[in-house]
């Protein structure tokens, strides 16, 4: 198991065809929700005031995360920053 913190900043071009935009955003939502239900994407938070999110991914490996991110329908329009996480030595949870 490997946990990653991911920031996604979305920059859809203003001149993208509105139908293509709507269809891509709908596919992104379905893809994201499928991964959330599967437990791979346990948290997603909107960053207030921005078309951006902070997410936590719970995956087997960096390779799996890369595959997930690379297949995001909005991937061509995103800047993505990935931070690997490990347990803090002071964490009281087991």
Ligand X SMILES: O=C(O)C[C@H]1C=CC(=O)O1
Q: Stretches 15-23, 28-36, 57-65, 84-92: which one binds ligand X (CB under 6 A)?
A: 28-36
Helix extents (H) in 1-94: 18-37, 62-70
CB of 29 to ligand X, least distance (A): 4
Give 73: exposed, middle or buried? Use CB within 10 Å, 0-12, 13-18, 19+. middle
Q: Quick check: 82 binds ligand X (CB under 6 A)?
A: no
Q: How far is the CB of 28 from ligand X (least distance, A)?
A: 4
Residues that bind ligand X (CB under 6 A): 8, 10, 28-29, 32, 53, 74
């Amino acid at each position: 198991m490997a946990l990653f913190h991911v920031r996604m900043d979305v920059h859809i071009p203003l001149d993208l065809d509105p139908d293509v935009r709507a269809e891509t955003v709908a596919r992104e939502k379905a893809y994201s929700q499928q991964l959330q239900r599967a437990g791979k994407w346990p948290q997603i938070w909107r960053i207030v005031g921005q078309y951006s999110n902070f997410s936590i991914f719970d995956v087997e490996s960096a390779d799996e995360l890369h595959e997930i991110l690379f297949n995001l329908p909005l991937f061509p329009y995103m800047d993505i920053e990935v931070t690997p996480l490990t347990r803090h030595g002071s964490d009281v949870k087991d």
